[in-house]
Amino acid sequence: MTRLARRYPQWAAALFLAAALSGCQESDVVAPDGATISMTANPATIVLAGGIQDPNKPVTVIATVSNSIGVPLPGQDVRFQTTAGTLTPAAGTPIETDSFGNATTVLREARQSPTITAK
């Protein structure tokens, strides 16, 4: 038996592993069917002083992801959008829910009443 023939199973295993790993890619976590998102904001009302949101009063927005029977879901990706102001982290950035199913963003610099959505 030649040296190459003895090493063939090792090479085949290495190539298989390399192919399997190259086929893996990171993707968003998708909540199960029937999952819901509820949102709260603190403060719930934005006061515009001089046509802009007070920089000393940012709004914290929390989205809670729950399954169909109300159990919070950790490890879910939530993306926030707003019609006014800026969000931190930036709008559209995936934010992973914590162990309580909560994802948090902060609204600043609103110049009109915003509508904030979470998906």
Q: What is the pLDDT of residues 70-85, one digit of tens each?
A: 999 999 999 999 999 9
- pLDDT > 90 fraction of the chain, expressed in percent and rounded: 60
Predicted TM-score of the model (pTM): 0.73
Arithmetic mean of pLDDT over the chain? 83
What pLDDT is recorded for position 34?
Answer: 87
What pLDDT is recorded for position 110?
Answer: 94
What pLDDT is recorded for position 32?
Answer: 77
pLDDT at residue 15 above 60? no
Residues 47-59 as b/e (b if ≥16 CB within 10 A, e otherwise) read eeeeeebeeeebb
Alpha-carbon distance of 39 to 58, in angstroms, equals 16
Nearest partner of 31 among 4, 85, 68, 62, judged by Cα: 68
Alpha-carbon distance of 80 to 87, in angstroms, equals 8
CATH architecture of 36-118: Sandwich (2.60)
